[in-house]
Structure 1
Amino acid sequence: MIDKLNERITIQQSKHMTDKVGNHRNAWVDYYTCFAYASTFEAQEDEGEVTAEQKSVVFTVRWCSEVNKLTSTGFRVLFRGELYDITSVDPMNYNKKTTKLHCRLERRQR
């Protein structure tokens, strides 16, 4: 299956930081970069009278100790310049071969 891992992704982690003045804030820092297989699908979601498009991607990555620590909170995926929230982490029956990251395109405030 290694030949299918042809897309590069960067997994980012939310970290608590303090600047030189003493202000506390959260910042996203690069946690781990690897190759993944991206399988995409799009779904429509109704929000009252407006239909909003939800873009979702499932990333399949090789299992490693860094990927084993991932959770759906505190991590996100950077893929082709877009940010994706991790909605769930599937350890694939705990076989320590692959892990699936179910992600949804992050909505940006404009």
Structure 2
Amino acid sequence: MKILLLNERITIEKSKIEVDKIGNHKNVWSKYYSCYATISSESPQEETSSGAVWDESKIDFTIRYSREVADILSIGFRVIFHNSIYGIIRLSRKKFDKFRLT
């Protein structure tokens, strides 16, 4: 992995349930990990069918593997990149030196 390609800052947030003083449960996102990533495969594809428009954008975040990254799952985590929120669909841990969030 070339360190030079890790040129964009991302933040990974983790979801947790908080209970207020009267017992209401709410989902709260908090910062879990922040690092530099390589961004690739940004390919927005809008298709119109019967007057509807779908945005099927896909973006890959490749980051260096670390102890904090080992606990990331596709459920309960999300990525913040340029003030946009991306849900994690798939994780790839094929190599020990990188980690891909799709």
Structures share fold, TM-score greater than 0.5: yes
Corresponding residue for residue 78 of structure 1: 80
User: Aligned pair 1:99/2:69, yes or no?
Assistant: no
Give me the identity figure in percent.
Answer: 37
Aligned equivalents of 2:84 and 2:24: distance in 1? Answer: 28
Post-superposition Cα deviations, 1:41-95, rounded to whole Å, max 9, x if no partner, equal 223356664121122210000000111111111100000010000000000x2x3
Q: How many residues align?
A: 100
SS at match of 2:96: coil
For 1:22 and 1:38, how far apart are their aligned partners in 2? 41
Distance (Å, rounded) in 2 between the aligned partners of 1:76 and 1:56:
14
Instruction: Tell me what 1:33 maps to.
Output: 34
Q: Distance in 1 between matches of 2:31 and 2:70?
A: 16
CA–CA separation in structure 2 for the residues paired with 1:11 and 1:32 = 5
1:37 maps to a residue whose letter is T
Higher share of residues assigned strand: 1
Residue 55 of structure 1 aligns with an amino acid whose one-letter code is S
**Which residue in the other structure is 1:108 paired with?**
none
Gaps of 5+ in 1: 103-110
Q: 1:45 to 1:15 in 2, by over 3 A?
A: farther
Scaled by the length of structure 2, what TM-score is found? 0.88
Q: Which consecutive unaligned segments of at least 5 residues does structure 2 have?
A: none
Runs of 4+ in 1 over 4 A off after TM superposition: 45-49
